[in-house]
Amino acid sequence: MSEQSTSGSGYVEQEFKRDTTYISDRITADGRDGWPVEAGRYRLIAARACPWANRTIIVRRLLGLESAISMGLCGPTHDERSWTFDLDPGGRDPVLGYERLQEAYFARDPEYPKGITVPAVVDIPSKAVVTNDFPQITLDFSTEWPQFHRDGAPDLYPEKLRDEMGEVMQRVYTEVNNGVYRCGFSGSQRAYDKAYQRLFTALDWLEERLTDRRYLMGDTITEADVRLFTTLARFDAVYHGHFKTNRQKLTEFRALWGYARDLFQTPGFGDTTDFPQIKEHYYVVHADINPTQIIPAGPDTSVWLTPHGREELGGSPFGDGTPPGPTPEGERVPADHGPGGIPHR
């Protein structure tokens, strides 16, 4: 997902409101929408720069779905038309043959009227987008694809916790995931002040919640942690300055910062995080907010590898399960794009 940049300040409203109307088809075990679960049939198109797409990359890796659902990656920047496959040789996705993700949307609907967003799941035979409903995609990875989960995969969406998880994830989405954008895209001082207060009220709530529990829902990681992590990973690198969420840095929250490092150092989280691509996306694409498109050199990302001490709270990330194995060849974040690496591409 992304906010399409325009000249001037055309995309900044008095109060930022996200368009949440997506292609809502689902890939299910019973194929009720016409899209049955089938190994090798679908391709996840994502971008490491995008927090919403980063969620799908993490969940796919945690569950071990790499061999069942292939993945194509767009580069960190895009124009008004579309995300592009500029990271691939020849600038084309090697499976779909497309230069632009827009082509997969137009294969579904030649007059597709909305923004071209990541993540998107594409049907390889027809080369058409099946869904870009990012909150549902990851839940379906958990609930509709279990026959293809790896041995030892975590239960990221436990039935007994779903009601409470729904409430937690909704607050995280409206107040934090979307809250940083509400600050950054405010079109007036009044809208910004209101958004800023809402964001830090929620972060203070999370700080308190995570003071005496290792993860959002207790002793093991769940989908809720994935959804919060991708915003926290971008907080100091982008949101604190670019989006003016500067009451304090993530590193200045005791519990939240420990929690974020705990997740980052867990396989599936930090090894899917590409700091140079993250910064390039926001500081280059959002030219209305950053007209020079200069990408800042800081902050020092090596701090993500410092001890967090969260083990003292008990629990373990995968419960009775196991961590995922090594990242597949061709899907690894370059070593110099991780903690302490290059400041920008």
pLDDT tens profile 12-69: 456 666 666 789 999 999 999 999 999 999 999 999 999 999 999 999 999 999 999 9
What mean pLDDT is predicted for residues 269-282? 98
Q: What is the mean pLDDT of residues 215-225?
A: 98
CA distances to 33, 79, 245, 247 from 187, rounded to whole Å, are 40, 22, 15, 19
User: Among residues 22, 42, 50, 157, which one is catalytic?
Assistant: 50
Query: Position of tokens 């632009």?
Result: 100
Specify the pLDDT at position 81: 87
Q: Would you call the peptide bond into 307 cis, given omega within 30 degrees of 0 as the criterion?
A: no
Number of other CB atoms surrounding residue 201 within 10 Å: 11
Instruction: Identify the active-site residue in 181, 192, 196, 282.
Output: 181
The helix, strand and coil proportions of the chain, stated in percent and rounded to the nearest 5, come to 40, 5, 50
Mean pLDDT across 240-260: 98
Mean of per-residue pLDDT scores for the chain: 94
Please compute the mean of the pLDDT values over residues 212-229 and round it to a whole number: 98
For residue 154, say if its preceding peptide bond is cis, omega within 30 degrees of 0. no
What is the predicted pLDDT for the residue at 6? 36
Q: Which of 305, 205, 299 lies closest to 260 in space, CA to CA?
A: 305
pLDDT of 319 strictly over 60? yes
CB atoms within 10 A of CB 334: 12
* Rg value, the chain, Cα: 19
Query: Among this protein's residues, is 173 annotated catalytic?
Result: no
Structure-block tokens of residue 185: 């895209």
- Can you point out the beta strands (E) in the chain? 42-46, 70-73, 120-123, 128-131
- 4 vs 114, residue with greater confidence: 114
d(CA 238, CA 285): 13
Phi-psi region at 264: left, alpha or beta (left = phi > 0; alpha = psi -120 to 50)? alpha
Cα three-residue angle 170-60-139, rounded to 5 degrees: 35
Q: What per-residue confidence (pLDDT) applies to 18?
A: 66
Burial class for 344, CB neighbours closer than 10 Å (0-12, 13-18, 19+):
middle
**Cα–Cα separations (whole angstroms), residue 84 to 79, 116, 196:** 9, 10, 33
Local confidence band at 4 (pLDDT 50, 70, 90 cut-offs): very low
Say whether pLDDT at 126 is over 50.
Answer: yes
pTM above 0.85, yes or no: yes
Tens of pLDDT, residue by residue over 165-190, are 999 999 999 999 999 999 999 999 99
Taking residues 249-256, report their average pLDDT: 98
Residue 146 predicted with pLDDT over 50: yes
Active-site residue flag, 22: no
The mean pLDDT value for 81-96 works out to 96
